[in-house]
Structure 1
Amino acid sequence: MSRLNLFSPDVRENPYPFYAELRRSSPVCQVDPNGMWVVTRHDDVVAALKNTQVFSSAGLRVASEPPHLQRHNPLSDSLILADPPRHSQLRNLIGRAFTATTVGSLEPAMRSSAAQLADEIVQRRTVDFIPDFAHRAQASVLVQLLGLDSSLQDKFQRWTTDILSIGAIAPDDLTRLHEVRETIDEMERYMKDLLASRRRQLENDLLSDLLRSRVNDGELTEKDLMGFLFLLFVAGLETAVTLMTHIASIFAAFPAWMDRLRAEPALIPQFIEEVLRFEPPVHATMRLTLTETELAGVRLPAHAVVVLLVGSALRDETKFQDPDSFHPERRAQANLAFGHGAHFCLGAPLARAQARVVIGELLTRCRRFRLRAERLAWNVSLNTRCPVALPIEVTPA
């Protein structure tokens, strides 16, 4: 029997039947590409996420900085690629600035941007939701969060795409490697200038708060700050855009929910939780085993690349009744969509707040979304699962 290939087109289009079969027959097994190990059941994914002494995030720095990149990638210095105790130190310092107050202060700007973009897509009627709404909405949040020059927004998607592509670039693809190195150079130059500017004059933004942040006489170094900025641009942009895209796709697939939420806005938080469960923005996360270990009765060798399939765990029939159906009234909290344990996402409250604001502004202006494609093309990524484009026709409210 041939191994499942996570990147095959039929798996990318609808991976959930394949995941269900793995949960039944081979919950921990090897798959392609490259014979990676996958973990598919909810409890096993949680167990691996909790066990940072065996399942290491730091060990995966090679994915963000392979030898053929031939330069340092600041993303490798971010807290997402650190293990305790270093991860705990970084998280404590960053968490002091990334607070509920920060989220609350951003909400008026989020609402204004979402309202303007919703007006635009209603006026145009036929749009690609990803570049025309989702990307622009999240780029505006980054501008507000960090006090950036808004004219840079058009660069954000290229920066994100290039950094996320590093692990998939072949060593002999010299053109693409050169492009990515130039992107890293460009991002580093901009962020170094930004940090120098804030050190000269602190502002009322997250970056200034991070520069003020101290815990037990510790402070964030230049390398720490650069790693966090790269992470915020890459993970923050990609996951938020993916979440908004899934919301729009689900509105198109289940149009009655647009009417229901418009009539009962108190259901919006439950709806968001079900979107996070049904199509999590982080579809999978990766770890490296530091020692030989056993999970679900399967022996994993030391230094094995392990893919924790969050998208499968959140469809686990032992945890969720009728898991392949979209039921916002199930009241399930999909916290696993934002990680678990030490690596639970600091940005989860911001992502939920933005989703709530976006839904509210879309429902105010849009009565229906109709998908204008018989089939969607999907990205090729281990970490996220998102359409490459989402062409929709918007019916005004």
Structure 2
Amino acid sequence: MSRLNLFAPDVRENPYPFYAELRRNSPVCQVEPNGMWVVTRYDDLLTAFKNTQIFSSAGMRVATEPPYLRRHNPLSGSMILADPPRHGALRGLANRAFTASAVSSLEQHMRSTAARLADDLVQRRVADFVTDFASRAQVSALAKLIGFDPSLEKHFERWTTDLVSVGTISPEDHARLDEVRRTIDEMEQYMLDLLASRRRRLENDLVSDLLRSRSNDDATTDQDLVALLFLLLVAGLETATSLMTHMVLILARRPAWLDRLRAEPALIPGFVEEVIRFEPPVHATMRLTLAETELGGVRLPAHSVVALLVGSGMRDETRFKDPDRFDPGRRDQANLAFGHGAHFCLGVFLARTQARVVLEELVRRCSRIELRVERLEWNAVLNTRCPVALPIEVIPTSRPAARERPSVQGSW
């Protein structure tokens, strides 16, 4: 029997029936590309997330810095590709400044940006939600929080696209490899210049807070800071854009929810949580086995590349009742969509806040959101699953709904 190819067009378009088949018959197995192993059941995913001594994140640096890249990739030095105890030191660096209070202070900025973009969307009526709204909203939030120059929006999008594609580039594709090397050069120089600028003049942003918090005996280096900035830009832009895009795609396919959320906006956070479960912004995450081990009754050889298919685990029938039904009323989210344990996502509060604010502004203005394409094109990146573009038409409300959130009783 041939192996499932995770990048086959029909799998990419709707992977969930294929995942269900794997959960039933081959919950831990090899797939294409490259015979990597996949883990598909919720409990097995949880086991792998917890066992960092066997399922190594650091081992996956080969995906961000393959030998044929012939250049150091600062993303390889980030905490997402580190194991304890190194991971703890790097995470502590980010925790000094990347706090819930910092994100909370951003909410008004996020709201004004979302309102402006939503007004523009309503005025234009037809747009690509990915490029015209989602990525612009997140770039604005990251620029404000971290200290990036928002005028470089198009560079950020290109940088992110290039960085996440490193592991999928053929060693023979010399032109593409040259492009990625130039991108890494640009990014690293921009981050170093930003650090130098903030040393000359501290401002109210994360970069300045990181520099303020460093003591004389601090072992962290400028390269550690650059690696963190690489991670925050790439992961922050990619995952939040995916979350917002899936949120709007679900609304387009289930128009009754727009009316419901407009009437009962206090239900919006629950809607966002179900989007996160139903279409996780991190669809898969990679590990490397440091020793032979057993998982799900299958022996995994040492040095095996393993994809933890979070998108499958969040549809596991043994963990969620009727998992393929979109149900914002679920009481137990049990969400692995932002990782677990040591690698629980640092930006989770930012992503949830951004999604909630965007949804609040959209439901006030839109009576319907309609797709303007028959078949979507999906990205070719394993860790996220998102349409490359989302052409939509917006049908505006006759007048904006009130901002107040009425008290809500009852259930979905």
**Equivalent-residue separation in structure 1 for 2:217 and 2:263 (angstroms):** 51
After superposition, the C-alpha distances for 1:300-335 in whole angstroms (9 at most, x for unaligned) are: 000000000000000000110000010001133353
After superposition, the C-alpha distances for 1:153-173 in whole angstroms (9 at most, x for unaligned) are: 121110100111111111111
SS at match of 1:259: helix
Alignment match, 2:390: 390
**Equivalent-residue separation in structure 1 for 2:175 and 2:204 (angstroms):** 40
Q: Does residue 54 of structure 2 align to residue 54 of structure 1?
A: yes
Whether the 8 Å contact between 1:262 and 1:364 is mirrored in structure 2 is: yes
After superposition, the C-alpha distances for 1:270-328 in whole angstroms (9 at most, x for unaligned) are: 10110000000100000000000000110000000000000000000011000001000
1:243–1:216: structure 2 CA closer, same or farther, 3 Å change rule? farther
**Equivalent-residue separation in structure 1 for 2:341 and 2:215 (angstroms):** 21
Alignment match, 1:312: 312
**Equivalent-residue separation in structure 2 for 1:391 and 1:8 (angstroms):** 23
Cα displacement (A) at 1:233: 1.1
Alignment match, 1:367: 367
Superposition RMSD in Å = 1.2
**Equivalent-residue separation in structure 2 for 1:215 and 1:3 (angstroms):** 53
Cα displacement (A) at 1:89: 1.1
Matches within 5 A, 1:1-397: 1-214=1-214, 218-397=218-397
**Equivalent-residue separation in structure 2 for 1:249 and 1:342 (angstroms):** 32
Identity within the alignment, %: 73
**Equivalent-residue separation in structure 2 for 1:219 and 1:111 (angstroms):** 38
SS at match of 1:336: coil
After superposition, the C-alpha distances for 1:169-214 in whole angstroms (9 at most, x for unaligned) are: 1111111011111111111111110001111221111111112235
- Please tell me the residue identity of whatever aligns with 2:84: P
Unpaired runs of 5+ residues, structure 2, are 398-412
Cα displacement (A) at 1:219: 4.9
- Please tell me the residue identity of whatever aligns with 2:86: R
- Please tell me the residue identity of whatever aligns with 1:368: R
**Equivalent-residue separation in structure 2 for 1:261 and 1:43 (angstroms):** 33
Alignment match, 2:404: none
TM-score, normalisation: structure 1 = 0.98
Whether the 8 Å contact between 1:274 and 1:332 is mirrored in structure 2 is: no
**Equivalent-residue separation in structure 2 for 1:346 and 1:101 (angstroms):** 13
- Please tell me the residue identity of whatever aligns with 2:287: R
SS at match of 1:273: helix
**Equivalent-residue separation in structure 2 for 1:180 and 1:61 (angstroms):** 16
- Please tell me the residue identity of whatever aligns with 1:144: K
Unpaired runs of 5+ residues, structure 1, are none
Cα displacement (A) at 1:363: 0.8
- Please tell me the residue identity of whatever aligns with 1:195: L
Bigger mean CA deviation after superposition, 266-275 or 204-213: 204-213
**Equivalent-residue separation in structure 1 for 2:312 and 2:215 (angstroms):** 38
SS at match of 1:218: coil
